[in-house]
Amino acid sequence: MQAHDFEPMSIGGILDRTFRIYKDSFVRFVTIVAVIQVPIALLTLISTSAFRRGVPVRQQTYEPSERGGRQGREYTVVEGRRARVSATRQDVAGPAAAIFGGLGLVVAGILGLLGQVLCSGALTKSVSESYLGNEITVGQAYSFILPKFLTLIWAGICVVLLVWLGLLLLVVPGIIFGLWYALTNPAIVVENLKASKGMSRSKALASGNLGKIFCVGFLVILLSMVLSMPATYVGAFLGSFVFPNNAMLMIFVNQFFSVVANILIVPIGATAYILLYYDLRIRKEGFDLQMLAESIGSGQGAANVDQPQ
């Protein structure tokens, strides 16, 4: 794999190189996300199915009364059969299934958050190696990031708490905190730092470049929305059109399209942020000259680099 030019990049240059790296490493990037997202999506679907079967769904129907008006009657749907019940009666349908489904949804939510951290770290490592011109497999990316998993979780908790605290303080401090610590994960993964040092490193790199970080982050969010909305609408339309009378199959189709969209979109943000991280290192620390010296010393030839501005 050939290394990319180590040179300062504009916002447009970061996005352009993001899609080039994404195209070149497409299979590896989507596989990294899929091995986490697909099992969690299946667990969520199974838990949702169990929960829906365990909890009766009441429907209100109306019939003409003897006085010419409409009289409401309440029904409970249990496994496709409708049974008339009184409005005051407490109905219990499959409590074990409801409990199992509810616990499954809680577990899926927790695993989703943990999986997001693990996936983000593995993507960061994979994108970094692609940018530096090194080969890495999906298994190697996850093996590298596992020892740093708890550090990434703790750093994520600290960043979220600081951002929420800042948002409570008239919003603006929260935005500033978010920009300061936007590069915490790349700093931890690339430089093998602990949580607090990774946050400090991110703040040092972000200092004087908050506008650029904001623009890149805004464009990544905007691009993610533009790409995910069609998939969401298509999934909802196909689910209701093909399976109008089967709620679970409707949910399955909708979730399938959402998961596919997420698998395709997540690597874009990870790639953009690691390129932003390297761009700031090039501008502030002469990272391009460092890589040039290492490549000459190892006999690999000189990279095409410019003097940092």
Token code pair at residue 248: 């679970």
Q: What's the pLDDT tens digit per position in 243-288?
A: 878 777 888 888 888 899 999 999 999 999 999 999 999 988 876 6
Residue 176 has pLDDT above 70, yes or no: yes
Q: What is the pLDDT of residue 54?
A: 64
Q: What's the pLDDT tens digit per position in 93-127?
A: 567 777 888 888 899 899 999 999 999 999 999 99
Cβ atoms of 180 and 270 closer than 8 Å? no
Task: Specify if 307 maps to a domain.
Answer: no
Q: What is the value of pTM for the model shown? A: 0.77
Task: Specify if 59 maps to a domain.
Answer: no
Q: What's the pLDDT tens digit per position in 155-168?
A: 999 999 999 999 99
More confident residue, 20 or 63: 20
Average pLDDT score over residue span 15-30: 94
Task: Specify if 90 maps to a domain.
Answer: no
Task: Specify if 301 maps to a domain.
Answer: no
Residue 12 has pLDDT above 50, yes or no: yes
Sequence-ordered alpha helix ranges (H) in the chain? 11-24, 26-54, 95-132, 138-145, 149-168, 172-180, 184-191, 195-206, 210-242, 247-285, 287-297
DSSP symbol at 19:
H
Task: Specify if 285 maps to a domain.
Answer: yes
Task: Specify if 247 maps to a domain.
Answer: yes
Number of domains in the chain: 1
Q: What's the pLDDT tens digit per position in 277-302?
A: 999 999 888 766 555 455 444 333 33
What lies within 8 Å, CB to CB, of 164 at 6+ separation is: 174
Task: Specify if 85 maps to a domain.
Answer: no
Task: Specify if 123 maps to a domain.
Answer: yes
Average pLDDT score over residue span 42-46: 88
Residue 133: domain span: 11-54+96-295
Q: Collapsing DSSP states into helix, strand and coil, what is residue 146?
A: helix
